Structure 1
Amino acid sequence: MAGGDVPVHVELRTTDVAEARAFCRRLYYAALRIEPVGDPGRFDFSADVVELGPITLGEVGYGTDIRVSCGALETSYHVLAPLTGMLRSRHRGTVVLADPTRAVVYRPTGDIELDWPGSCRLLSVKVERGALERELDAALDQRVVSPLPLGASFDLVDGPGRTWMALVRLLLAELRGADGLASQPRMAARWRDMVVSGLALSVQHPYGEEPAGLQGPYRPRTVKRALDVMHAEPGRPYTTTELAAVAGVGARVLQDAFRQHVGMSPMVYLRRLRLDGVHAELSRSEPGQVSVSEVAYRWGFTHMGRFAGAYRARFGVPPSVTLRGRP
């Protein structure tokens, strides 16, 4: 992803609910709903957030009790780890009481409801869906189910969860400054990868335990080669025939392998990869800095009408709304 190793630091403190809502929708999910249920006079939103390629790290608090709800995340996995207070979460039929000893984990599917007290300030970690799934796929050298059947929470006091939490806190603190070692792209990329791989090791998943029906077959090297070149240059005008040549098989064989091991054709996967890239870049850009068309073109879209329709179908809003940062 272009610019994926360069951290982007954004922060906001406001007593305006609409401004806080727009900020969170721009950085996280367009369908996010935030409603104060406590004393509105105590609403005091503050967020200090860093975007680094496929991860978004932030420290967030609201000052008063709020209720948050959101539909399926679709494009990401998400972890909320309270620093103070307790958070009540409902997701996929499971209730989790998260506090400084336990984080709550969200998969890309299923509605989310949160009761977030004013006393709760937390670390929010958003990881793009493909990044975490590729990490487990590479570590295990096998196909993983998408979305990953992750546990609903994990321990922050003992084991890998404690180390992961410390890593996230240190990385966020380092990235807030302009002159820290982690602000250098090469180091930032390594720390970013550590956050993703550390999460894969911290959260509960069934891989390695071989429960029936959860572990898929090995993903063929032909598929991996095609995925690697698409992620290396997502804006390049690939055709199925060109990807098949890279993979060393015929076009029909590659299409069949993708449908079996990825769940979609190579061109559908590439379009989703590009759309996610455009969405991430528009989310962190200012309207005066870039235009929708130039970002779309950079990611390989040449027909703006078809691009706009595909973008709205995936994210629920036109690309211009994402760029403006308003719901």
Structure 2
Amino acid sequence: MDEAREFCRRMYYGPLRIEPVGDAPRIDFSADVVLLGPITVGEVGYGTDIRVSIEALETAYHVLVPLTGVLRSRHRGAVAHADPTRALVYRPTGDIELDWPGSCRLLSVKVERAALEREVDAALDQRVVSPLPLGTGFDLVDGPGRTWAALVRLLLSELCGPDGLASQPRMAARWRDMVVSGLALTVEHPYGEEPAGLQGPHRPRTVKRALDAMHAEPGREYRTRDLADLAGVGVRVLQEAFRQHVGMSPLTYLRRLRLDHVHAELSRADAGQASVSEVAYRYGFTHLGRFAGAYRARFGVTPSQTLRDRR
């Protein structure tokens, strides 16, 4: 059981508690888990009844797809069940408790928060809030949910095999992008055709060009003038467009984006092999004092605490 806990904490979340249900149960834990850029995909089973407790995810969205058995979940005050006909979706807020029977084996898919939010934003071409107001699950029998789950299973099978197409870096990257974009089109949310769900007007191309540039190279030393040139407008025009359609200035958005990237990297890093300063420098933070203050203001903990906890 200790080995199972350590494995899942290392691959998924640091503040993860796994406790057996009953007296001296026999555990038959097995898991195939692959980290591929902003997604972590795995097939996991314990072979005995357990209870799992996870603190608020903060940096990721998570999907559980039972292949066998029934999973009972408590999240944000709501109780939900998942089985091979319906997946569960978790937002990066609120603690999670799972009653996981030994008969349940499932696909566990973690997607970095910024990656899914960016994909939903791009798919809808309209402003969305963070965290996304997603539904608690989606159907696995018909529609896009069935296709998405099949895609994830195939990707995991290919990545775990020695000679599959997914072992080629370019193919793996494309498959990874398909998983994220497919999930963005599968999850239930209030955007799209529901007018009441709109959080703002469509973003103009000038704003999207600047956003695309920042997301493509978050560590690059951009000035507002650089972003305005990429967008094909003047500095004042870009700043006003960001104020109206993003709710902040371009450089404020860039700083938040960089902080999110640092947080995500520290959350999955090995505390013995990673350095806070190295990660911060890589994302353009050259003044470590100001960086640490901004980080704590955004996430409520210091960078070193995140690395130590290995969230």
TM-score normalised per structure 2? 0.86
Distance 1:45 1:306, change over 3 A: farther
Deviation, structure 1 residue 105: 0.8
| 1:103-118 alignment, distance < 5 Å | 103-118=87-102
Q: Helix, strand or coil for the counterpart of 1:182?
A: helix
| 1:36-51 alignment, distance < 5 Å | 36-51=20-35
Residue equivalent to 2:254: 270
In the alignment, residue 205 of structure 1 is paired with which amino acid?
A: H
In the alignment, residue 185 of structure 1 is paired with which amino acid?
A: P
| 1:23-42 alignment, distance < 5 Å | 23-42=7-26
Looking at structure 2, the residues matched to 106 and 234 of structure 1 have their Cα atoms a distance apart, in angstroms, of 26
Q: Which segments of structure 1 move beyond 6 Å, counting only runs of 4 or more?
A: none
Looking at structure 1, the residues matched to 13 and 296 of structure 2 have their Cα atoms a distance apart, in angstroms, of 13
Deviation, structure 1 residue 56: 1.1
Matched, 1:96 2:76: no
In the alignment, residue 120 of structure 1 is paired with which amino acid?
A: C
Residue equivalent to 1:292: 276
Q: Helix, strand or coil for the counterpart of 2:191?
A: coil
Q: Is the 8 A contact 1:22 1:326 kept in 2?
A: no
Deviation, structure 1 residue 201: 2.4
Distance 1:326 1:54, change over 3 A: closer
Matched, 1:242 2:226: yes
**Which blocks of at least 5 consecutive residues in structure 2 are unaligned?**
none
Distance 1:206 1:249, change over 3 A: same
Aligned length: 311
Q: Is the 8 A contact 2:266 2:310 kept in 1?
A: no
Deviation, structure 1 residue 262: 2.9
In the alignment, residue 100 of structure 1 is paired with which amino acid?
A: P
Of 156, 169, 180, the residue aligned with 1:185 is 169
Q: Is the 8 A contact 2:144 2:186 kept in 1?
A: yes
| 1:140-289 alignment, distance < 5 Å | 140-214=124-198, 216-282=200-266, 286=270
Q: Helix, strand or coil for the counterpart of 2:33?
A: strand
Further displaced range: 185-194 or 131-140: 131-140
Q: Helix, strand or coil for the counterpart of 1:206?
A: coil
Deviation, structure 1 residue 127: 1.4
TM-score normalised per structure 1? 0.82
Deviations 1:107-144 (A, max 9, x none): 22333222222222211111122222222322232223
Q: Helix, strand or coil for the counterpart of 2:195?
A: coil
In the alignment, residue 214 of structure 1 is paired with which amino acid?
A: L
Looking at structure 2, the residues matched to 161 and 206 of structure 1 have their Cα atoms a distance apart, in angstroms, of 17
Of 77, 93, 96, the residue aligned with 2:61 is 77
Distance 1:267 1:111, change over 3 A: farther
Distance 1:244 1:326, change over 3 A: closer
Report the RMSD for the aligned CA atoms in angstroms: 2.8
Q: Helix, strand or coil for the counterpart of 1:212?
A: helix
Looking at structure 2, the residues matched to 59 and 317 of structure 1 have their Cα atoms a distance apart, in angstroms, of 31
Q: Is the 8 A contact 1:26 1:322 kept in 2?
A: no
Q: Helix, strand or coil for the counterpart of 2:221?
A: coil
Deviations 1:156-190 (A, max 9, x none): 12222111111100101111234321121211111
What is the percentage of aligned positions where both structures have the same residue?
83
Distance 1:26 1:269, change over 3 A: farther
Distance 1:127 1:260, change over 3 A: farther
**Which blocks of at least 5 consecutive residues in structure 1 are unaligned?**
1-14
